Chain A
Amino acid sequence: MTLHEKELRAVYTDTLIELMTTNSKVVCLEADLGKSSGTVPRVWDAFPDRFFDVGVAEANMIGISAGLANEGMVPFCATFSPFATRRAYDQITISIAYAENPVKIVGTAPGVTTAKNGATHMCFQDLAIMRAMPNMRVYCPADVYELRSMVRYMAASQKPEYMQLIREVHAPLFDDSYEFDPHQARILDEGADVTLVTTGLTTQFARKAVGSLKQEGIQAEHIHYPSVKPFDVQTLLDSVKKTNAVVTAENQNVIGGLGGAVCEVLAENYPAKVKRLGSQDRFGEVGDVPYLSDTLGFSAPKIADACREMVQAK
Chain B
Amino acid sequence: MDFDKIESKEQLDQLAKEFRYIITDIMCRAGGGHIGGSLSLVEIIITLYFRVMNVKPDNPRWADRDRFILSKGHAGPTLYTALAYRGYFPKDVLLTLNANGTELPSHVDQVITPGIDQTAGSLGQGLSCANGIALACKLQNKTNHVFCIVGDGESQEGQIWEAGMFAAQHKLDNLVVITDYNKMQIDAEVEKIVSLEPVVDKWRAFGWEVFEMDGHDWDDIHATINKAMAVKDKPAMIVAHTVKAKGNVCYENRIECHFISIPDEDERNRVIGGVCALDDDEPFHFNWTEGK
Alpha-carbon gap, A66 to B111, bound state (A): 13
Contacts of B139 in A (CB 8 A): 27, 49-50, 73
**A59 proximal to B (CB < 8 A):** yes
| CB of B250, distance to nearest CB on chain A (Å) | 32
State which residues 111-139 of B face A: CB under 8 Å.
111, 117-122, 124-137, 139
Q: Determine whether the beta carbon of B135 is less than 8 Å from that of A99.
A: no
- What's the tally of chain B residues with a CB closer than 8 Å to chain A? 32
Count, A-B residue pairs, CB within 8 A: 106
Contacts of B137 in A (CB 8 A): 71
- A16-43 CB mask vs B (1 if < 8 Å, else 0) is 0000000000010000000000000000
Contacts of A90 in B (CB 8 A): 122, 125
**B166 proximal to A (CB < 8 A):** yes
State which residues 158-187 of B face A: CB under 8 Å.
158-159, 162-163, 165-166, 170
- A256-273 CB mask vs B (1 if < 8 Å, else 0) is 000000000000000000
Q: Determine whether the beta carbon of B125 is less than 8 Å from that of A94.
A: yes
Q: Determine whether the beta carbon of A99 is less than 8 Å from that of B111.
A: yes
In the complex, the chain B residue whose C-beta lies closest to that of A99 is: B119
| CB of A72, distance to nearest CB on chain B (Å) | 7
Contacts of B128 in A (CB 8 A): 59-60, 62-64, 66-67, 91, 95
Query: Taking chain A's interface residues, is the majority helix, strand, or loop, or is none over half, making it mixed?
Result: helix
- B86-119 CB mask vs A (1 if < 8 Å, else 0) is 0000000000000000000000011100000111
Alpha-carbon gap, A27 to B139, bound state (A): 10
**B8 proximal to A (CB < 8 A):** no
Contacts of B159 in A (CB 8 A): 57, 59-60, 63, 91
Q: Determine whether the beta carbon of B166 is less than 8 Å from that of A70.
A: no
Known contacts A91-B159, A95-B119; is A100 also within 8 Å of B111 by CB? yes
In the complex, the chain B residue whose C-beta lies closest to that of A66 is: B129
**B140 proximal to A (CB < 8 A):** yes
- A59-83 CB mask vs B (1 if < 8 Å, else 0) is 1101111111111110100000000
| CB of A269, distance to nearest CB on chain B (Å) | 32
A residues neighboring B (CB under 8 Å): 27, 49-50, 52, 54-55, 57, 59-60, 62-73, 75, 90-91, 93-95, 98-100
Give 19 A-B contacts (CB < 8 Å), ordered by A residue: A49-B139, A55-B162, A55-B165, A59-B128, A59-B158, A59-B159, A59-B162, A60-B162, A60-B163, A62-B128, A63-B125, A63-B127, A63-B128, A66-B125, A70-B118, A70-B129, A95-B118, A95-B119, A99-B118
Given contacts A59-B124, A67-B130, A67-B133, 18 further A-B contacts (CB under 8 A): A49-B139, A57-B165, A59-B158, A60-B166, A63-B125, A63-B132, A64-B166, A66-B128, A66-B129, A70-B136, A71-B132, A71-B133, A73-B136, A90-B125, A91-B128, A94-B119, A95-B119, A95-B129
